[in-house]
Each structure stands twice: as structure tokens, then as C-alpha cells.
Amino acid sequence: MPELIHVDTAAGVRTLTLDSPHNRNALSRQLMAELTGALTAAQEDDDIRAIVLTHAGPVFCSGMDLSESRGASATGMGVNAVPAILQSIWTSPKPVLARVAGPARAGGVGLIGACDLAVAVRTATFAFSEVRIGVVPAVISVTVLPRLLPRAAHELFLTGEVFDGDRAAAIGLVNSAVDAEDLDAEVRRYLDLLVLGAPGALAATKQMLRRPAAASMDEDFAAMLELSARHFAGEEGQEGMAAFAEKRPARWVP
């Protein structure tokens, strides 16, 4: 079988390209298995500073491969593989950026929600189409709901209405929506910013952003004070402050 995930590396950035145009980059068993492996490899490579998730063809991702889901049991393969992929992206120690140049539906929107950053063209379309085929957008809600304005989430999850890149940016699904000719420049802008951050500090900041609510403000301040002090005294913190004082790039900057 041809590979459905293409892997490219340049200047510390690992690009993972969904390339399954025959089914609009749907989340088939093969694509999910390859994507899982590619994500793991990128996360374990010390030379990789950021990950880009993008696509070949006109569609970013059409969601689950329904041809594999029809007739499947509730415990069968298929949708049960999606949580591991979404969690891998969400918890990745390396920042993950979605480059969206075409439509995304259902599970494809879940992938975008799992990424730390997302840039889309204005003409890209999105929809939570699950209710229209009699299913529930349950799994993807774990990564999508933290991004969306609550009113928009209720409206779009319940209606399945299609919306464009500008609205996706307005409700928090993507960071920015740009004209097609500006997409790669906007992706590059974010990547250039990400690689300025220290790898350990970026990973710790991602963990901080995901932390559960503390029982009290005192408890939260205590934990955050410990985290801050540890990184101020750590190797990266000391190097970063020295670089700032000496008006030079830190050692981790490519």
C-alpha cells in the first residue's frame, strides 16, 4: 500500500502531510496507524523543535473513513483509534501547528482542535456533521470544546452548519484565517516564533496550560512558584538570561 503520511524535515521542523486523496484524507486505519508512528517519532527526536500537520489535495481531513465504520461494533477498530492520536497531539512536548488549506469535517476538526496553533485559509470550510448522520461528536469534543466559545459550540455541534475560516478564527478554532496566497507565510511566521522558545520551557508551558484546576488559589500559586523557580535556576533559564544580557541568540535558536 502507498504511504498515506509523508514526512519532511527542515530547520528543526517536522512536517507530516496527510496524503490520501481517494477518500479526502479520511481517518482510515492505515492513515491513523502511520500518523501515530510519525507523531511519536517526531516527539522523540531531540532535533525537532515543532511539528506541522498539513495535507495534500484540496481537503484537509473529512473525518472518519465511513467505509470502514459501517457495520462495525462499538468496540471495533476505527473510532477507538482516534483518542490516542488526539491525545498524542494535545500532549506533545513539541508544539504542533495545523496548516489548513481546505475543508475539515468531524474528526478532521478534532485534529485541528488538538493542535496548539492552527492557520487556515479563509475559504476553508468546517462542520460538525456528526448529528446529520445519526452519531455524536463525542470523541472530538475533548479537544475541540476547550477551543470554542460556548455559544458557538452549542450552535455548531447541534446544527452541523458549515462555517468558513473567518468564523473559525472568530470562535477560537483556529488562530488566524488568511488568503490562500498568504498561508505559507503565516505558517512560517508562527514557526519562526516557536523556535525562539527553549525546548524544555515549551514542553513545560504546554503542561502548565493543560493543568487541572487547583483546589485553591494558594495551592495554585505554590505549584506555579515551584515551576517558575525550577526553570529560572535550570540550564535553559540561565542560558536564556545570559543570552539576553549579552544581546545574542540563545543556544537553542536554530
Q: Of 144, 158, 28, 128, give the one whose Cα is nearest residue 82.
A: 28
Q: What is the pLDDT of residue 30?
A: 95
Specify the pLDDT at position 78.
60
Judgement on whether residues 82 and 185 belong to the same structural domain of the protein: yes
End residue of a domain, out of 194, 214, 235: 194
Q: Are residues 233 and 138 in the same domain?
A: no
Domain range for 221: 199-245
Same domain, 203 and 188: no
Residue 15: beta bridge partners?
8, 52
Domain check: are 69 and 115 in the same one?
yes
> Same domain for 42 and 23?
yes
Distance between CA atoms of residues 254 and 89, nearest Å: 23
Residues 93 and 80 in one domain: yes
**Of 179, 194, 209, which residue sits at a domain end?**
194
Rounded CA-CA distance 144/98 in Å is: 14
Mean pLDDT over the full length of the chain: 95
Query: Is 157's pLDDT higher than 80?
Result: yes
Residue 67 is predicted with a pLDDT of: 82
Local confidence band at 66 (pLDDT 50, 70, 90 cut-offs): confident
Q: Establish if 252 belongs to a structural domain.
A: no
In this structure, the answer to whether residues 235 and 136 fall within a common structural domain is no
Reply yes or no on whether the pLDDT at 70 is more than 60. no
Amino acid at 4: L
Q: Which helix (H) or strand (E) holds 58?
A: none
Indicate whether 254 belongs to any domain. Answer: no
222 and 146, same domain (yes or no)? no
Q: Could you read off the pLDDT of 221-252 as tens digits, one per residue?
A: 999 999 999 999 999 999 999 999 999 999 99
State the pTM of this model: 0.93
Q: Are residues 18 and 126 in the same domain?
A: yes
Give pairs for 232-239: CB < 8 Å, separation 24+: 234/200, 236/198, 236/199, 236/200, 236/201, 237/201, 239/198
In the block, residue with C-alpha cell 488566524:
176
159 in a domain, yes or no? Answer: yes
Residue 88 exposure: Cα atoms within 13 Å on the Cβ side: 21
Among candidate residues 241, 153, 245, 234, the one with its CA nearest the CA of residue 201 = 234
pLDDT value of residue 58: 97
DSSP assignment letter at 180? G
Q: In what order do the strands lie in the sheet with 13-18?
A: 5-10, 13-18, 50-55, 96-100, 117-121, 176-178
CATH of residue 186's domain is 3.90.226.10
On the CB side of 79, how many CA atoms lie within 13 Å of its CA? 20
Q: Are residues 15 and 84 in the same domain?
A: yes
Same domain, 186 and 65: yes
* One domain, residues 167 and 211: no
The answer to whether position 250 is within a domain reads no
In the chain, the number of structural domains is 2
